[in-house]
Amino acid sequence: MQPQANKTAICFHAKDDLPEVRREVFRLIASLGAEVFIAIHRKSALVDIAMRARALGAKAMIGPDQLYDDLVKRLFKHRLHSADHNYVVFAKRGKSARMAALASAINKAKRNFARHAGRVEDKPTDISALQPSQSAGLQVIDYYLWAIQRLYERQESRFFDNIVGGNRLIMDLDDRRRRSYGEWYDARNVLTLEKMKAL
Protein backbone atom coordinates (compact mmCIF):
# COMPACT_ATOMS: atom_id res chain seq x y z
CA MET A 1 0.00 0.00 0.00
CA GLN A 2 3.02 2.33 0.04
CA PRO A 3 3.40 4.51 -3.09
CA GLN A 4 7.07 3.56 -3.45
CA ALA A 5 6.03 -0.09 -3.94
CA ASN A 6 4.31 0.94 -7.21
CA LYS A 7 1.38 -1.39 -6.51
CA THR A 8 -2.08 -0.88 -4.96
CA ALA A 9 -1.39 2.70 -3.85
CA ILE A 10 -0.80 3.57 -7.53
CA CYS A 11 -3.52 1.44 -9.17
CA PHE A 12 -5.50 -1.76 -8.70
CA HIS A 13 -3.88 -4.87 -10.15
CA ALA A 14 -5.53 -8.20 -9.35
CA LYS A 15 -2.30 -10.19 -9.21
CA ASP A 16 -0.66 -7.81 -6.74
CA ASP A 17 -3.56 -6.65 -4.57
CA LEU A 18 -4.14 -8.09 -1.12
CA PRO A 19 -7.10 -10.51 -0.90
CA GLU A 20 -9.10 -7.97 1.14
CA VAL A 21 -8.51 -5.28 -1.48
CA ARG A 22 -9.28 -7.71 -4.29
CA ARG A 23 -12.61 -8.65 -2.66
CA GLU A 24 -13.67 -5.00 -2.45
CA VAL A 25 -12.55 -4.25 -6.01
CA PHE A 26 -14.55 -7.22 -7.33
CA ARG A 27 -17.57 -5.93 -5.37
CA LEU A 28 -17.14 -2.46 -6.88
CA ILE A 29 -16.64 -3.79 -10.42
CA ALA A 30 -19.83 -5.86 -10.18
CA SER A 31 -21.76 -2.64 -9.47
CA LEU A 32 -20.30 -0.64 -12.40
CA GLY A 33 -22.25 -2.25 -15.23
CA ALA A 34 -19.12 -2.68 -17.34
CA GLU A 35 -19.56 -4.68 -20.54
CA VAL A 36 -16.50 -6.73 -21.34
CA PHE A 37 -15.50 -8.46 -24.59
CA ILE A 38 -12.60 -10.90 -24.39
CA ALA A 39 -10.74 -13.03 -26.94
CA ILE A 40 -8.68 -15.99 -25.74
CA HIS A 41 -5.93 -18.02 -27.39
CA ARG A 42 -4.44 -21.02 -25.62
CA LYS A 43 -0.67 -21.38 -25.51
CA SER A 44 -0.88 -25.05 -26.51
CA ALA A 45 -2.87 -24.15 -29.63
CA LEU A 46 -0.40 -21.41 -30.51
CA VAL A 47 2.45 -23.91 -30.29
CA ASP A 48 0.55 -26.20 -32.70
CA ILE A 49 0.00 -23.29 -35.12
CA ALA A 50 3.69 -22.39 -34.99
CA MET A 51 4.75 -26.00 -35.58
CA ARG A 52 2.43 -26.33 -38.60
CA ALA A 53 3.72 -23.03 -40.01
CA ARG A 54 7.29 -24.21 -39.54
CA ALA A 55 6.48 -27.53 -41.25
CA LEU A 56 5.07 -25.59 -44.21
CA GLY A 57 8.33 -23.66 -44.52
CA ALA A 58 7.53 -20.44 -42.67
CA LYS A 59 10.81 -18.71 -41.89
CA ALA A 60 9.58 -16.24 -39.26
CA MET A 61 7.94 -17.36 -36.04
CA ILE A 62 4.71 -15.78 -34.92
CA GLY A 63 5.60 -13.41 -32.10
CA PRO A 64 3.54 -12.03 -29.21
CA ASP A 65 2.97 -8.71 -30.99
CA GLN A 66 1.46 -10.43 -34.05
CA LEU A 67 -0.75 -12.58 -31.82
CA TYR A 68 -1.89 -9.54 -29.84
CA ASP A 69 -2.68 -7.61 -33.04
CA ASP A 70 -4.68 -10.54 -34.41
CA LEU A 71 -6.73 -10.70 -31.19
CA VAL A 72 -7.34 -6.93 -31.42
CA LYS A 73 -8.54 -7.31 -35.00
CA ARG A 74 -10.93 -10.13 -34.08
CA LEU A 75 -12.19 -8.49 -30.91
CA PHE A 76 -13.01 -5.14 -32.52
CA LYS A 77 -14.47 -6.43 -35.80
CA HIS A 78 -18.07 -6.03 -34.60
CA ARG A 79 -17.53 -3.28 -32.02
CA LEU A 80 -16.53 -0.12 -33.91
CA HIS A 81 -19.61 0.66 -36.01
CA SER A 82 -22.24 1.27 -33.32
CA ALA A 83 -20.81 4.38 -31.61
CA ASP A 84 -20.55 7.83 -33.18
CA HIS A 85 -16.96 8.09 -31.94
CA ASN A 86 -14.72 5.34 -30.55
CA TYR A 87 -12.09 5.83 -27.87
CA VAL A 88 -9.85 2.76 -27.60
CA VAL A 89 -7.30 2.58 -24.79
CA PHE A 90 -4.66 -0.14 -24.83
CA ALA A 91 -2.43 -1.04 -21.94
CA LYS A 92 1.11 0.03 -22.64
CA ARG A 93 3.17 -3.15 -22.89
CA GLY A 94 6.87 -2.78 -22.27
CA LYS A 95 8.67 0.34 -23.44
CA SER A 96 6.89 0.67 -26.78
CA ALA A 97 3.33 1.90 -27.25
CA ARG A 98 3.19 0.26 -30.75
CA MET A 99 0.61 2.81 -31.86
CA ALA A 100 1.09 2.25 -35.62
CA ALA A 101 0.62 -1.53 -35.29
CA LEU A 102 -2.44 -1.14 -33.05
CA ALA A 103 -3.98 1.41 -35.42
CA SER A 104 -3.36 -1.03 -38.28
CA ALA A 105 -5.13 -3.81 -36.35
CA ILE A 106 -8.11 -1.51 -35.69
CA ASN A 107 -8.26 -0.55 -39.38
CA LYS A 108 -8.19 -4.23 -40.37
CA ALA A 109 -11.09 -4.84 -37.97
CA LYS A 110 -13.05 -2.07 -39.70
CA ARG A 111 -12.27 -3.51 -43.16
CA ASN A 112 -13.26 -7.02 -42.04
CA PHE A 113 -16.56 -5.67 -40.70
CA ALA A 114 -17.22 -3.83 -43.99
CA ARG A 115 -16.54 -7.00 -45.97
CA HIS A 116 -18.71 -9.10 -43.63
CA ALA A 117 -21.61 -6.62 -43.35
CA GLY A 118 -21.48 -5.31 -46.89
CA ARG A 119 -21.28 -1.70 -45.73
CA VAL A 120 -18.59 0.73 -44.63
CA GLU A 121 -18.99 2.21 -41.14
CA ASP A 122 -15.73 4.09 -40.62
CA LYS A 123 -16.56 5.96 -37.41
CA PRO A 124 -13.83 8.20 -35.93
CA THR A 125 -11.58 6.19 -33.65
CA ASP A 126 -9.04 7.65 -31.24
CA ILE A 127 -6.42 5.17 -30.05
CA SER A 128 -4.11 5.60 -27.08
CA ALA A 129 -1.78 3.43 -25.02
CA LEU A 130 -1.62 4.18 -21.31
CA GLN A 131 -0.32 2.75 -18.09
CA PRO A 132 -3.07 1.12 -15.96
CA SER A 133 -2.59 3.87 -13.36
CA GLN A 134 -3.77 6.34 -16.02
CA SER A 135 -7.02 4.55 -16.88
CA ALA A 136 -9.68 3.06 -14.61
CA GLY A 137 -10.91 1.00 -17.56
CA LEU A 138 -7.56 -0.79 -17.82
CA GLN A 139 -7.75 -1.64 -14.12
CA VAL A 140 -11.25 -3.06 -14.57
CA ILE A 141 -10.23 -5.22 -17.52
CA ASP A 142 -7.15 -6.39 -15.59
CA TYR A 143 -9.48 -7.80 -12.92
CA TYR A 144 -11.69 -9.48 -15.52
CA LEU A 145 -8.73 -11.04 -17.31
CA TRP A 146 -7.16 -12.20 -14.05
CA ALA A 147 -10.42 -13.90 -13.02
CA ILE A 148 -10.68 -15.63 -16.40
CA GLN A 149 -7.05 -16.70 -16.25
CA ARG A 150 -7.70 -18.30 -12.86
CA LEU A 151 -10.76 -20.03 -14.29
CA TYR A 152 -8.84 -21.49 -17.23
CA GLU A 153 -5.47 -22.23 -15.71
CA ARG A 154 -6.49 -23.32 -12.20
CA GLN A 155 -10.14 -24.32 -12.71
CA GLU A 156 -10.94 -21.83 -9.96
CA SER A 157 -14.31 -20.16 -10.57
CA ARG A 158 -14.78 -18.14 -7.37
CA PHE A 159 -13.30 -14.93 -8.84
CA PHE A 160 -14.97 -15.33 -12.21
CA ASP A 161 -18.34 -15.90 -10.50
CA ASN A 162 -18.07 -12.34 -9.10
CA ILE A 163 -17.98 -10.76 -12.56
CA VAL A 164 -19.66 -13.26 -14.89
CA GLY A 165 -22.64 -10.94 -15.45
CA GLY A 166 -20.46 -8.27 -17.06
CA ASN A 167 -19.04 -10.54 -19.73
CA ARG A 168 -20.83 -9.66 -22.94
CA LEU A 169 -18.69 -12.00 -25.00
CA ILE A 170 -15.80 -14.37 -24.37
CA MET A 171 -14.34 -15.77 -27.56
CA ASP A 172 -12.38 -18.98 -26.88
CA LEU A 173 -10.80 -19.17 -30.33
CA ASP A 174 -9.13 -22.53 -29.76
CA ASP A 175 -12.11 -24.50 -28.46
CA ARG A 176 -13.22 -25.94 -31.80
CA ARG A 177 -15.22 -28.86 -30.50
CA ARG A 178 -18.44 -27.47 -32.02
CA ARG A 179 -17.43 -24.67 -34.41
CA SER A 180 -14.41 -24.02 -36.60
CA TYR A 181 -14.04 -20.44 -35.33
CA GLY A 182 -14.12 -21.41 -31.64
CA GLU A 183 -16.64 -21.25 -28.82
CA TRP A 184 -18.33 -17.96 -27.99
CA TYR A 185 -19.75 -17.45 -24.51
CA ASP A 186 -22.37 -14.79 -23.81
CA ALA A 187 -25.61 -14.33 -21.82
CA ARG A 188 -27.25 -17.24 -23.69
CA ASN A 189 -24.22 -19.52 -23.40
CA VAL A 190 -22.64 -18.61 -20.05
CA LEU A 191 -19.07 -19.82 -19.53
CA THR A 192 -18.78 -22.41 -16.75
CA LEU A 193 -16.07 -24.83 -15.71
CA GLU A 194 -18.19 -27.70 -17.00
CA LYS A 195 -18.56 -26.17 -20.48
CA MET A 196 -15.05 -24.99 -21.15
CA LYS A 197 -12.51 -27.14 -22.92
CA ALA A 198 -9.83 -28.34 -20.53
CA LEU A 199 -6.33 -27.00 -21.05
pLDDT in tens, 19-43: 999 999 999 998 888 889 999 998 8
Mean local confidence (pLDDT), 147-176? 90
The answer to whether 76 and 89 have CB atoms below 8 angstroms apart is no
Average pLDDT over residues 157-177: 89
Which region, left, alpha or beta, applies to residue 42 given φ > 0 means left and ψ of -120 to 50 means alpha? beta
Q: Does residue 61 have a pLDDT over 70?
A: no
pLDDT-based confidence at residue 183 (cuts at 50, 70, 90)? very high
Q: Residue 154's pLDDT is what? A: 94
Residues 157/194, Cβ–Cβ less than 8 Å? no
Q: Where are the domains of the chain?
A: 3-185
118: Cβ–Cβ under 8 A, 6 or more apart, which residues? none
C-alpha torsion sign, points 82, 83, 87, 91: negative
In this prediction, residue 6 has a pLDDT band, given cuts at 50, 70 and 90, of: low
